[in-house]
Amino acid sequence: MSLPFELTVLGLGCVLALVHIFSAIQLKTRQYGRAWNMGARDEKQPPLNDIAARVARAQANYFETFPIAIALLLAVPLAGHAGTLSAIGAALWLVARIIYLPLYWTGVKGWRTLAFLASVIGLLMLLAALFFRG
């Protein structure tokens, strides 16, 4: 029995979540130091530098929509509605989210928004597949 494509995408989305977490913490640690990282982080810190702040915002953005992706990527195969529409939607969501991080990290305007919108279209395709067999 092979794993449904949507569940493979979910697993890869979890890997991407770890990339977001470790990218953000590495840049914060580079700025604030290892003692901050290893401590309780109670001390007030200066604002993050531009790159670290962008990566932290990209992480926050990812985790705003990731729960929706998780629900859809689980529900579609569970409902028996996995198909072409859901596979394309899942792939579009994942690829767009992968592209989003370096676009935000490097401060590229416009394209970052397009990548986000593409990921939302992917989620909408998954939602359509859930309700209309995809």
- Report which residue type is found at 4: P
Pick the closest to residue 130 from 84, 93, 77 (CA basis): 77
94 has pLDDT over 70: yes
Classified as helix, coil or strand, 49 is coil
Check: CB of residue 56 under 8 Å from CB of residue 48: yes
pLDDT value at position 88? 98
Could you tell me which residue, 33 or 95, shows the higher pLDDT?
95
Q: What is each CA distance from 37 to 23, 27, 32, in whole angstroms?
A: 13, 11, 8
- pLDDT one-digit tens code per residue, 18-48: 999 999 999 999 999 898 888 888 888 899 9
Mean pLDDT of the chain: 95
pLDDT tens for 59-78 read 999 999 999 999 999 999 99
Query: Residue 134 above 70 pLDDT?
Result: no
Burial of 95 (0-12, 13-18, 19+ CB in 10 A): middle
